[in-house]
Amino acid sequence: MGANISQLERDIGSDQFPPNEHYFGLVNFGNTCYSNSVLQALYFCRPFREKVLEYKAKNRRTKETLLSCLADLFYSIATQKKKVGSIAPKKFIARLRKEKEEFDNYMQQDAHEFLNFLINHINEIILAERNQAKTAGGTGSGGGGTAGGKGGGAAAANGISANGNGTVNGLDGGYGTGNGGSSGSTNGSGNTEPTWVHEIFQGILTSETRCLNCETVSSKDENFFDLQVDVDQNTSITHCLRCFSNTETLCSDNKFKCDNCCSYQEAQKRMRVKKLPMILALHLKRFKYMEQYNRHIKVSHRVVFPLELRLFNTSDDAVNPDRLYDLMAVVIHCGSGPNRGHYISIVKSHGFWLLFDDDMVDKIEASTIEDFYGLTSDIQKSSETGYILFYQSRDCA
């Protein structure tokens, strides 16, 4: 898939090459394509890149953490003398393997699990360093643990992924709490102090439950960093998101305890988006456990993801219901199953699209995106399918 450096520059054109931009592939250190593909997507998420580089500028003497290693990597790319090439994320991968045992091997890993861990852990580091700064200044509440440590109170606050079944998943093996979804640094009102991770990725879901006996509607808000959506054959992301918010009837052994009725009653429940994030990350649930095979299989269904997206499953009191998103990156799984295959990514930069395949970088046409929608046939075979979609709000571009 790769093109040599001079070819890529020719494809872009010297007069079209964005000033102060760099396109560098990442060397694979033995099945680290899951990391490389996500890192490229995040690097071209401009609000995220700017915050990471800002962190680098303000924390030049900080102890080594996964965030400091990421900042060093982004800084190295952004300050290269050459416009295109490749770079080895050696320090970042080494630190990743120290921080998370599951990544300390040369096996293929799940790109979404890595993204979930990375975003949560970065948020955790920021919270811990904030607590340490408060404590050092004599105004803090303590309990922060070390900036990169695996204990203390600076857990992955609100670092969660939301499913369409009304449940919210914490980060497996989360730091501090064991599930990564509940505690963290709080302000005087008891709410988690937002970090720039929250500002970029966090949205709010509201779970609305209507008692079918008394018609009382109760709601509960839940934060999310990404949305996980089921995929059906020959559908679109818009359809998947509508299904995410489909009404579910709670009955039989799953009745709802209505506070107004003071008893368990049949009810209807649905999830809607109350606050739309700056960057909307959508995880297509393409790996499903099949009992007849006693293993996970890949669901390669064709799911169209548009270049522009507006959510229609928003709540009546949504903060920014008409927010318009532009597709800016896609992490793609190539292969036939979760434990085999390869990850690549495509990103939009300054109006054109690039494909990153580890250390190789190619300019591609926008029409090429259609090749990654999935298969129209249900026959199990290798496929290249969109797995994680990153949409950036147009009002923050």
Could you confirm whether 198 is annotated as catalytic?
Answer: no
Instruction: Report the run of H or E that residue 78 belongs to, with start and end.
Output: helix 66-78
Could you confirm whether 333 is annotated as catalytic?
Answer: no
Bridge partners for 354 per DSSP: 347, 363
Instruction: Determine contact, residues 209/174, Cβ cutoff 8 Å.
Output: no
**One-character DSSP codes across 166-180:** S-EEEPTTBTTTBSS
> Of the residues 22, 33, 211, 396, which is catalytic?
33
Give dist(CA 249, CA 184) in Å, integer. Answer: 34
Give dist(CA 285, CA 230) in Å, integer. Answer: 5
184: CB partners within 8 A, 6+ apart: 124, 127, 153, 154, 155, 156, 157, 158, 192
Report how far apart, in Å, the C-alpha atoms of 174 and of each of 33, 131, 182, 337, 345 are.
Answer: 23, 19, 10, 26, 26
Structure tokens at 248: 């579910």
Instruction: Determine contact, residues 355/3, Cβ cutoff 8 Å.
Output: no
Alpha helices by DSSP H, listed for 202-332, are 237-244
DSSP state of 153: S
Q: How do beta strands 160-162 and 226-229 pair?
A: parallel
Give dist(CA 267, CA 150) in Å, integer. Answer: 41
Bridge partners for 160 per DSSP: 170
Region at 90 (left for phi over 0; alpha for psi -120 to 50; beta for the rest): alpha
Catalytic residues: 33, 342
